[in-house]
Structure 1
Amino acid sequence: MIPLTPVNSLTINILVDNCIEWMTKLPPGFSHEIRQQLGDTPPIGEETGVPIVDLEHYCCGAHGFSALITTEVEGQGSQTILFDTGPDSKTIIRNIEALKVPVHSIERVVISHWHADHTGGLLSFLDYRGSRTSNSPDMPISIDLHPDRPVARGIAPPPSYDNVIGRLPADPTFGAIEKSLTRERTADVRGRIELHSEGHVIANKTAYVSGLIPRVSDFEGGLLGSVRWTETADGAWKWIAEEHILDERYVAVDVIGKGLILFSACSHAGICNVVRDAVENFKRPIHMIVGGLHLAGPELASRIPKTVQFLTESLRPAPVYVLPMHCSGFAVKIALEHALGEGCVPAGVGTKIVVQGDALAETKIFEPSIL
């Protein structure tokens, strides 16, 4: 068994997502950004004497994903992980400042996979954090990456999937990341890169970063139209099909009395395959799924009924909450809401989730099954 330590509490802050959602009713433990902002120290209107909804300094949405994950074990303190960094150099910094994130507390960045909508903010985040911890050499940070970084990835849209219409922006290079981890002038190192292709535990063993996600489901066919710029045996370079993004990884946290919280930033492997792997590894029920399900677009519509059926009928017990974000698409949100009701949560950037463990409920947890 993987030595994953159950946590007493888990706090999630969504730093980057495509959507902003302030209005919809949320379950207990969830809060919108506007509630957090108005409950903190907002500016006060001189004329009215009431707090101002200071939209100039609120979060903004972007096509990407980033989540701040803080685990806490009684008697051991807390550990904070940044899971992905969004698509660009500006969004994550704006949102960190809007939510007043204490960046010095972030001890590790985990990049789910090499796609620019998940890696684009990494260098700017490291520079931002470094500028605010310059007098704290005892606050190093680890950058957890898959070693198989592509030179370039591109998009070949349907129906033929053979005409490459564009490439994604380049992911940060290992050299650029190392440079951002070194203080200018003094060359003091304020962090390190860790390369992992296998599953491993982090954050004082309170979180698990997966290795290769087994492709088991017969209907989850990867990222249609994905291509990779690759050198062939004769030294030429060309685009080759790469539907299975094999460097993709998920993160799992086990909350006492609740079960697993799974973070799947894009689910190119298929969210059902992610869930299967987690259940096989940990023999624990799935309490919550957070992140992209990559079911947007008409070419993926046929996967939606089978995905919903798996999550809500084949998996026993079904997840209490599913937060379909980023690349999930509107159609699967409707389908999941129909199946799960309020268990399908309309989360977005700025949403905060607190999952409290329950030692008494732990005695009632039983091993999940997949029909």
Structure 2
Amino acid sequence: MMANHSLRSVDRFAVTFLVDNCIEWMTKLPPGFTHEVKLHLADNPPIDDVTGAPFLDLENYCCGAHGFSALIETQVGGEASHFTLFDTGPDSRAIARNVAAMHIDTHKIERIILSHWHSDHSGGMLSFLRIRTQSASQEASRSPCVVDLHPDRPVARGISVQGKVIGRLPNDPTFDEIRELGGVPETHAEGHVVADGTVWVSGEIPRVTDFESGLPGAVRWLENEGKPDWVAEEHIMDERYAAIDVAGKGLVLFSACSHAGIVNVVKDAVAQFSRPIYMIIGGLHLAGTDLVPRIEPTVDFLANRLRPAPTYVLPMHCSGFAAKVALEHALGEGCVPAGVGHKFEVTGDREAEKLIFAPTIQ
């Protein structure tokens, strides 16, 4: 079924990765990607007093953390750019350090999209809102930051092994905590466009792929008619993805954890928009021995069954080493070793729209 809200194609798209598990400074990247070191050396770096050479100020570079956060910039023609933050990482320190390291103007960010209620994606939210409030000018402080959330916030989530809960995730931010720091909670269970129509935030992701069966061992704390207890919740149904349509290129998909399965995400995006997939970004959740059987059919779908295949796949966060190796083998340089501190920019091509055709799934 096609999307109910019109997603505008953009003439410029950029993304800066503010939180990811990996730091990658040296591997070759495709055109349009920039390493963090190059960004720092090109932006008025400190000069060494002894040698006169630019100084690699590692104390103020990005740090890795188990989580995800990406700053999305979208622009149509000569209109103003829109800045959207997709997830905020796992803790208060990583997002703060990396925002400072990448010289992000936080007051320009109009909206935070939370992909799902897991603290490795929500843990930096309050820290970010605090930084935004403290750094904003008087004029900017009058522009609130919308926080786009699924309405079904859990009391607690955890992980169980063989029926025993071995760990409880930290609390997600509450709506009141968000308001206290200047955020404006906005809840959506259905798909909708934001950033003046340039970013699509999905609703519930249909689970149609037989081998993608959620997060093994996931549990949620429920009252259960006055008897609190942990209950199995492997499907994480509040998870959402984001999509941007780059003119002449196709869809850029942000799937922060892919608990729904990246194949299910791609199938839904194709059904919604009937556009080729240009780029897949984020955690594919294929790490760990329990998920190894999903790697081969996932890679086969992306490399062979989806036509055209994605131009780029950026397996980040929870994708896992084995999945990255398999994707690199299947896609070659189309599998990009992205990490925190990287930036990617692409310009749309309205003329190339004539060559765009609807994707097929074999």
**TM-score greater than 0.5 by the shorter chain:** yes
Which residue in the other structure is 1:178 paired with? 179
SS in 1 for 2:200: strand
Q: Confirm whether residue 152 of structure 1 aligns to residue 156 of structure 2.
A: yes
Alignment of structure 1 residues 36-55 onto 2, 5 Å: 36-55=39-58
> Which residue of 1 is the match for residue 313 of structure 2?
322
- 1:121 alignment partner in structure 2: 124
Matched, 1:302 2:293: yes
Amino acid in structure 1 at the alignment position of 2:126: L
Tell me, in whole angstroms, the C-alpha distance in 2 between the residues paired with 1:236 and 1:355.
53
Q: Which letter does structure 2 place at the counterpart of 1:180?
A: L
Name the structure 2 match of 1:66. Answer: 69
Q: How far does the alpha carbon of each residue in 1:198-237 deviate from its partner, in whole angstroms, 9 at most, with x for none? A: 000000000000000000000001000000001112x100
Task: Give 1:188's aligned residue.
Answer: none
- Could you tell me how far apart the structure 2 residues matched to 1:95 and 1:166 are? 27
SS at match of 2:39: helix
Quote the offset at 1:360 in angstroms. Answer: 1.9
1:67 is paired with a residue of what secondary structure?
Answer: strand
Does 2:261 match 1:270?
yes
In the alignment, what sits opposite 2:169? 168
Per the alignment, in what secondary structure is the counterpart of residue 164 of structure 2? coil
> Shift of the alpha carbon at 1:135?
1.1
- How many Å apart are 1:139 and its aligned residue? 2.0
Following superposition of structure 1 onto structure 2, how do residues 193-272 of structure 1 map, counting pairs within 5 Å? 193-233=185-225, 235-272=226-263
Give the drift of 1:76: 1.6
Report how far residue 138 of structure 1 moved.
Answer: 3.4
Which range moved further: 137-146 or 334-343?
Answer: 137-146
**How far does the alpha carbon of each residue in 1:301-320 deviate from its partner, in whole angstroms, 9 at most, with x for none?**
00000000011111000000
C-alpha contact (below 8 Å) 1:209/1:251 kept by paired residues = yes
The farther-off stretch of 223-232 and 353-362 is 353-362
Structure 1 residue 46 displacement after superposition: 1.2
Q: Distance in 1 between matches of 2:137 and 2:175?
A: 22
Q: CA offsets per residue over residues 53-100 of structure 1, 9 Å max, x none?
A: 110000000000000000011122210000000000011010000000
Q: For the residues of structure 2 that align with 1:319 and 1:215, how far apart are their CA atoms?
A: 21
Q: What are the ranges of 5 or more consecutive residues in structure 2 without an aligned counterpart?
A: none
State the match for 1:20 in structure 2: 23
Distance (Å, rounded) in 1 between the aligned partners of 2:49 and 2:34: 28
Alpha-carbon shift at residue 115 of structure 1 (Å):
0.3
Structure 1 stretches of at least 4 aligned residues deviating more than 4 Å after TM superposition: none
Unaligned stretches of 5+ residues in structure 1:
182-190
In structure 1, C-alpha distance between the alignment counterparts of 2:43 and 2:178, rounded to whole Å? 34
Quick one: which amino acid aligns to residue 204 of structure 2? L
C-alpha distance in 2, partners of 1:70/1:351? Answer: 14
Deviation, structure 1 residue 355: 1.6
Rounded to whole Å, the distance in 2 between the matches of 1:134 and 1:317 is 46
Deviations 1:258-307 (A, max 9, x none): 00000000000000000000000000000000000000011100000000
User: Which residue of the partner structure matches residue 358 of structure 2?
Assistant: 367
The answer to whether residue 40 in structure 2 is matched with residue 30 in structure 1 is no
Which residue of structure 2 aligns with residue 184 of structure 1?
A: none
Task: Tell me the distance in 2 between the aligned counterparts of 1:364 and 1:134.
Answer: 45
> 207-216 vs 353-362, which deviates more?
353-362
- Among all aligned residue pairs of Structure 1 and Structure 2, give the percentage whose two residues are the same amino acid: 63
Aligned to 2:273: 282
Matched, 1:7 2:10: yes
1:123-170 deviation line (CA, Å, top 9, x unaligned): 01101100111512432211100010000000113xx2x110110001
Matched, 1:334 2:325: yes
* Residue 358 (structure 1) shift: 1.1
- C-alpha offsets along residues 321-371 of structure 1, whole Å, 9 cap, x if unaligned? 000000000000000000000000000000100021112211101000111
Provide the rounded CA distance (Å) in 2 between the counterparts of 1:237 and 1:313: 46
The alignment's C-alpha RMSD in Å is 0.8
1:187: which partner in 2?
Answer: none
Task: Supply the AA of the counterpart residue of 2:249.
Answer: K
Shift of 1:117: 0.3
Residue 284 of structure 2 corresponds to which residue in structure 1?
Answer: 293
Indicate the SS of the match to 1:156. strand
Using the alignment, how far apart are the partners of 1:247 and 1:229 within structure 2? 15
Offset from partner CA, 1:156-192 (integer Å, 9 cap, x none): 13xx2x11011000101111111111xxxxxxxxx41
